[in-house]
């Protein structure tokens, strides 16, 4: 692929990933958190499910595989996105994006503990730097706000989802998995809306714009571009560019919400970015 096109697509997809935090926080003034993401992923999931049906991609043929797909949807969509939007009620969109995108660091930890995956020394250096970055981002103290706990929980859920995809992903067509994990996640989020919050939705131009943006641009387009890049390029090298997403999260929060970037958040974010890059970076020599 042309390097310029590759670079522009990387900026597009990571920019959409990061900016969705600020866009989502704008929406929370009009929609309750779980209800907003429930609508977002149910609508996106239905649209993509129709598309993959029309294209006649292979669907799961056993009940067990549908259950596995639902489990991925619970962690990847319901738990991750539910925790992100709950965190946005008490911390900035920049802080939430930084904490959420520590998930590659947790993948190394959980992969070692539960799947006996062996990682290289440089990846453990990345994990160490990333964890130091998280500590600095929280203000170098152990006083947790509830939003920080939700932010960390979203990273944990994402890491679990990543390991489930590593274990079960070969059973599914990539686009079918993407469509139905979003749909299942949206259904779980609607259940969470009923159980854990008092839902409200103020219908106006802003709330509709936020919902449409999150469904079309931050879900369908973002996923489509990201998977396209993974298929056309080296997955390891491509994944290394995920460190750009929290950068765009911080920048979009500053531009759209006038969020102030505390010095320790910037320093901690830098440590996390370097850590994620080292975890995902692969040398030419095997």
Domain ranges within the chain, ordered by starting residue: 3-280
Taking the CA atoms of the chain, what radius of gyration do you get in angstroms?
18
For 24-67, the pLDDT digits (tens) are: 999 999 999 999 999 999 999 999 999 999 999 999 999 999 99
Spatial distance between the Cα atoms of 22 and 252, rounded to a whole number of angstroms: 6
pLDDT number for residue 134: 76
Spatial distance between the Cα atoms of 221 and 218, rounded to a whole number of angstroms: 6
Over residues 88-112, mean pLDDT: 84
pLDDT number for residue 138: 66
Residue matched to tokens 């080292």:
278
Give the global pTM.
0.86
Is the pLDDT score of 158 beyond 80? yes
Q: Report DSSP state, residue 201.
A: B
């Amino acid at each position: 692929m042309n390097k310029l096109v590759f670079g522009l697509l990387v900026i597009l997809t990571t920019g959409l990933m990061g900016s969705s935090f600020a866009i989502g926080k704008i929406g929370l003034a009009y929609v309750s958190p779980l209800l907003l993401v429930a609508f977002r992923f149910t609508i996106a999931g239905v649209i993509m499910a129709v598309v993959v049906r029309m294209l006649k991609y292979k669907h799961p043929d056993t009940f067990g595989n549908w259950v596995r797909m639902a489990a991925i949807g619970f962690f990847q969509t319901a738990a991750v996105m539910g925790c992100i939007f709950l965190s946005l009620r008490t911390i900035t969109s920049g802080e939430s994006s930084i904490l959420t995108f520590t998930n590659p660091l947790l993948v190394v930890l959980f992969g070692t503990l539960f799947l006996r995956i062996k990682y290289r020394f440089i990846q453990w250096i990345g994990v160490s730097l990333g964890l130091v970055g998280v500590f600095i981002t929280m203000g170098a103290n152990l006083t947790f706000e509830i939003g920080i706990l939700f932010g960390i929980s979203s990273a944990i859920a994402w890491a679990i989802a990543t390991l489930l995809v590593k274990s079960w992903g070969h059973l599914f067509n990539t686009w079918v998995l993407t469509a139905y994990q979003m749909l299942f996640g949206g259904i779980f989020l609607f259940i969470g809306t009923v159980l854990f919050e008092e839902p409200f939705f103020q219908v106006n131009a802003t709330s509709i714009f936020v919902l449409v943006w999150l469904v079309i641009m931050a879900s369908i387009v973002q996923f489509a571009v990201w998977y396209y890049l993974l298929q056309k390029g080296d997955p390891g090298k491509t994944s290394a560019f995920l460190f750009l997403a929290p950068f765009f999260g911080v920048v979009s929060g500053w531009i759209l919400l006038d969020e102030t970037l505390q010095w320790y958040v910037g320093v901690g974010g830098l440590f996390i970015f370097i850590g994620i890059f080292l975890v995902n970076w692969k040398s030419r020599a095997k």
